[in-house]
Structures are given as structure tokens and as C-alpha cells.
Amino acid sequence: MGSVIYTDHTFYTIPAYVPTTSVVDATGCGDTYMAGYLYQRVKGAGIQDSGEFAAAMATLKIEGSGPFTGTRDEVLSLLSSRKDKVYYGAA
């Protein structure tokens, strides 16, 4: 359903991205999300963009077994091509 990042009295609503395949392995998706978020923040990205990058990474990870093995370009491609976002709290 997505996630929410709260910082400096502001809530950031981060969408989830629907996997193109079935859910294969959810183990480690939270770690993958955090790694993607921190990677983007270190690179200077804002909170919203970092959260969306992290959510896209987690989506790619959940589609396969084992640790995340994708690339930055694959994550960016998913972000630019996917319109099927599911927002936290959406009806």
C-alpha cells in the first residue's frame, strides 16, 4: 500500500509500485527499501524522490528470490514507465 516518511513535521506519502510478476520473495524488502532511500539521500535527492526510488527498488526485489541484484538504471526505468502506483491510504 505504500509508505509514509515523517520528518520535520511533514508527512511524505510514498507510493507502492505493483509488481509485474507474482510476489516471489518478500524477505529483505525493508532492507532494500532503506538501502535505496539512503543511497538517494547521500546522492543529494529529496525525501519524496528518495522514497519513491526506494519503493521501486523494493518492487524489483520482491519479484525475485534472494538479495536485490538490480541496477540504478533498472530502478529509474521502472520509475519512469510505471503509472500503476498505489498510494498509502487510497481507497
For residue 46, the 8-state DSSP code is -
Contact criterion met (CB below 8 Å) for 11 and 26: no
pLDDT digits (tens, 9 = 90+) for 42-60: 999 999 999 999 999 999 9
Single pTM value for the model: 0.87
Contact criterion met (CB below 8 Å) for 59 and 74: no
pLDDT digits (tens, 9 = 90+) for 74-89: 999 999 887 656 655 5
List 3's β-bridge partners, or say none.
14
Contact criterion met (CB below 8 Å) for 43 and 53: no
What's the pLDDT at 52? 95
* CA 31 and chain centroid, separation: 11
